[in-house]
């Protein structure tokens, strides 16, 4: 493996860096596969049969828990996630293990049981956002932001698949949050970086690396943080992370935060057997010490600024009329929800966060909020895919159990045989987990799985 010129020299002297072990870990070609389970969609067994991990290793050796994340598991090999319907049902997220350390940062630095306003600033494709959503309470709200428009749509799709109800997806530059001074209890900044931590997984990333790019990334990280810090309340927590090994993007950013912004480092308690290295104000993941890729994370508490933002009623969206509520009731559990109309589309927002959702609509470019329930056409609801994926879906909606082959054909939007005699809207499920909608007509059925999400690969 040929590292870029100057790369290994840059790492010399950093806590925990051992050149020979680091080079050997990269040369090994070891690929670590890990997933995080969705507590809102609990699987009876993991790994499910549909993941098709060969029998020979389908024993206790197939999965091993990730010690810093209660819902994280290593897999003994990388199966085909694409052809597992339970992946598309949002029962788990494929995520790099080191990144799941975010769980410790959250659990140890804030009380996750109380209602929180959390911002995930650099959120696409949604690994940390789906994790944060699983960690916070139902009464909390997550703003999941991505500055690049096309990536914000991928983020929205992953938020929908995870079945979230208390998330607002936005597409803003960090500086757009300036008006929300003192608003957030927690800001997670998983900053864009030079990406050296992923060299083992994606060797092509080495071509992009240069010392100059590390400097540019560090400057951008400072800009992002300087822009967003006013939106964090006094006493609030900043979780900063990168997948870079460079001190300039890691410890040096931590020093800059503590020296130039009233940010106090927070120490986390870690187990020695996890293999992490405490360095500067943060924690380093070296691939020769940890079963995972390169990662850095540090936590800080803000010690000045506004205490909290007072949310006042502002411009309001139209609440759904009685007829709309009547049309929605057979489809979803509306307890604790406020139904909002935007043109003909009904959204369900968490009742407790309605003022906040309005505020965010006014101040930011909102891509998605709450649950998109469906469209009202002649006082009837045409259900949306997001409703099928959400946990507020009514239990009595008619369900159609698909076999593995049918489920894959459904997800590919290919023709398949259906035995259903019942007409009308039905929820296509696999092993009890919703995949999307089917409308059964007298002579055929329509598949409402979103075209842009369909599986394109051939088996």
Residue 72, φ and ψ in degrees, nearest 5: -95, 140
Cα-to-chain-centroid distance, residue 17: 30
Question: In angstroms, rounded to a whole number, what is the distance separating the alpha carbons of residues 232 and 48?
Answer: 41
CB of 170 to ligand SAM, least distance (A): 11
Q: Residue 267 corresponds to which tokens in the numbers above?
A: 């120490």
Q: How many residues bind ligand SAM (CB under 6 A)?
A: 17
Nearer to ligand SAM, 101 or 449 (CB): 101
β-pairing verdict for 295-302 and 282-285? antiparallel
Q: Which helix (H) or strand (E) holds 389?
A: helix 385-389
Nearer to ligand SAM, 94 or 355 (CB): 94
Provide the minimum distance between the beta carbon of 345 and ligand SAM in the complex, in angstroms, as a whole number: 27
Q: CB of 327: closest distance to ligand SAM in angstroms?
A: 36
Query: Which of 64, 81, 181, 192 touches ligand SAM by CB under 6 A?
Result: 192
What minimum distance in Å lies between the beta carbon of 105 and ligand SAM? 13
Query: What is the C-alpha to C-alpha distance for residues 241 and 156, in angstroms, rounded to an integer?
Result: 22
Site string for ligand SAM, 386-415 (x = CB under 6 A): ------------------------------
Q: Which is nearer to ligand SAM, 157 or 190 (CB)?
A: 190
220 or 365: CB nearest ligand SAM? 220
Q: Which 16-55 residues touch ligand SAM, going by CB under 6 A?
A: none
In degrees, to the nearest 5, what angle opens at C-alpha 408 toward C-alphas 405 and 414? 100
At its nearest, how many Å lie between ligand SAM and the CB of residue 195? Answer: 8
Residues 85 to 124 in contact with ligand SAM, rule: CB under 6 A: 99, 122-124
Q: Which stretch binds ligand SAM (CB under 6 A): 2-10, 146-154, 210-218, 401-409?
A: 146-154
CB atoms under 10 Å from CB of 228, counted, come to: 23
Residue 147 or 263 having the CB closest to ligand SAM: 147
Task: Please state the closest distance from residue 102 (CB atom) to ligand SAM, in A.
Answer: 8
Coil, helix or strand for 184?
Answer: strand
Q: Is 151 in the site for ligand SAM (CB under 6 A)?
A: yes
* DSSP conformation letters of 62-88: SEEE-TT-TTEEEESS---STT-HHHH
381 contact partners, CB below 8 Å, separation of at least 6: 327, 328, 330, 331, 346, 373, 374, 375
Would you say 34 or 406 has its CB closer to ligand SAM?
34
The smaller minimum CB distance to ligand SAM, of residues 125 and 203, is found at 125
Q: Mask of contacts with ligand SAM, 219-238, x by CB under 6 A?
A: -x---x--------------
Which residues, listed in sequence order, are joined to residue 72 by a DSSP beta bridge? 36
- Minimum CB separation of residue 235 from ligand SAM in Å reads 24
Structure-block tokens of residue 405: 């082959």
Least distance between ligand SAM and beta carbon 143 (Å): 13
Closest to ligand SAM by CB, 228 or 428: 228
By beta-carbon proximity to ligand SAM, the closer residue of 126 and 374 is: 126
Per CB under 6 A, the list member of 84, 103, 146, 384 interacting with ligand SAM is: 146
Listed residue (369, 333, 358, 20) closest to 167, CA to CA:
369
Alpha helices in 229-352 (DSSP H): 251-260, 322-328
* Minimum CB distance to ligand SAM, residue 127 (Å): 3
Count, in order, helices (H) and strands (E) of the chain. 12, 23
Question: Which residues in 117-136 contact ligand SAM (CB under 6 A)?
Answer: 122-128
Q: Give the 3-state secondary structure of residue 367.
A: strand
Cis peptide before 125 (omega within 30 of 0): yes
- Hey, which residues between 154 and 183 contact ligand SAM (CB under 6 A)? 174
Between 153 and 416, name the residue whose CB sits nearer to ligand SAM: 153
**What is the number of alpha carbons within 13 Å of residue 300 lying toward its C-beta?**
31
Q: Strands 184-190 and 117-120: what pairing?
A: parallel
The label of the residue with tokens 């994280």 reads 72
For ligand SAM, the closer of residues 295 and 433 by Cβ is 295
Q: Return residues touching ligand SAM (CB under 6 A).
A: 99, 122-128, 146-148, 151, 174, 190, 192, 220, 224
């Amino acid at each position: 493996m040929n590292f870029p010129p100057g790369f290994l020299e840059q790492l010399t002297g950093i806590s925990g860096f051992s050149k020979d072990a680091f080079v050997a870990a990269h040369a090994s070609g070891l690929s670590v596969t890990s997933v995080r389970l969705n507590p809102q969609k609990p699987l009876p067994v993991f790994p499910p049969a549909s993941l098709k991990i060969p029998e020979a290793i389908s024993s206790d050796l197939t999965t091993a828990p990730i010690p810093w994340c209660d819902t994280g598991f290593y897999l003994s090999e990388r199966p085909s996630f694409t052809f597992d319907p339970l992946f598309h049902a949002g029962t788990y997220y494929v995520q790099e293990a080191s990144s799941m350390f975010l769980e410790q940062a959250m659990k140890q630095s804030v009380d996750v049981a109380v209602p929180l306003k959390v911002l995930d600033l650099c959120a696409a494709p949604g690994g940390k956002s789906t994790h944060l959503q699983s960690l916070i309470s139902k009464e909390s709200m997550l703003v999941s932001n991505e500055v690049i428009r096309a990536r914000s749509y991928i983020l929205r799709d992953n938020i929908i698949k995870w079945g979230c109800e208390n998330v607002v997806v936005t597409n803003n530059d960090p500086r757009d949050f300036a008006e929300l001074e003192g608003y957030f209890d927690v800001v997670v900044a998983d900053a864009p970086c030079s990406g050296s931590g992923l060299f083992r997984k994606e060797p092509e990333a080495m071509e992009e690396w240069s010392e100059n790019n590390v400097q540019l990334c560090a400057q951008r990280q400072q800009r992002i943080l300087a822009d967003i810090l006013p939106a964090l309340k006094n006493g609030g927590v900043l979780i900063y992370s990168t997948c870079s090994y460079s001190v300039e993007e890691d410890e040096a950013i931590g020093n800059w935060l503590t020296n130039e912004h009233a940010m106090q480092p927070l120490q986390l308690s870690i187990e020695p057997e996890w293999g992490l290295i405490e360095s500067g104000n943060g924690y380093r993941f070296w691939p020769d010490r940890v079963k995972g890729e390169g990662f850095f994370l540090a936590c800080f508490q803000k010690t000045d600024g506004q205490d909290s933002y007072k949310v006042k009623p502002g411009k309001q969206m139209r609440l759904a009329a009685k007829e709309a509520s009547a049309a929605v009731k057979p489809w979803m559990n509306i307890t604790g929800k406020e139904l909002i109309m935007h043109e003909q589309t009904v959204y369900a927002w968490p009742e407790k966060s309605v003022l906040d959702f309005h505020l965010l609509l006014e101040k930011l470019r909102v891509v998605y909020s709450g649950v998109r329930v469906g469209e009202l056409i002649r006082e009837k609801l045409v259900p949306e895919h997001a409703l099928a994926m959400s946990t507020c879906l009514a239990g009595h909606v008619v369900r159609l159990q698909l076999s593995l082959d049918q489920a894959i054909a459904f997800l590919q939007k290919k023709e398949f045989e259906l035995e259903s005699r019942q007409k009308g809207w039905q929820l296509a499920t696999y092993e009890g987990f919703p995949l999307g909608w089917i409308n059964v007509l007298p002579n055929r059925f329509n598949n409402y799985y979103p075209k842009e999400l369909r599986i394109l690969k051939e088996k």
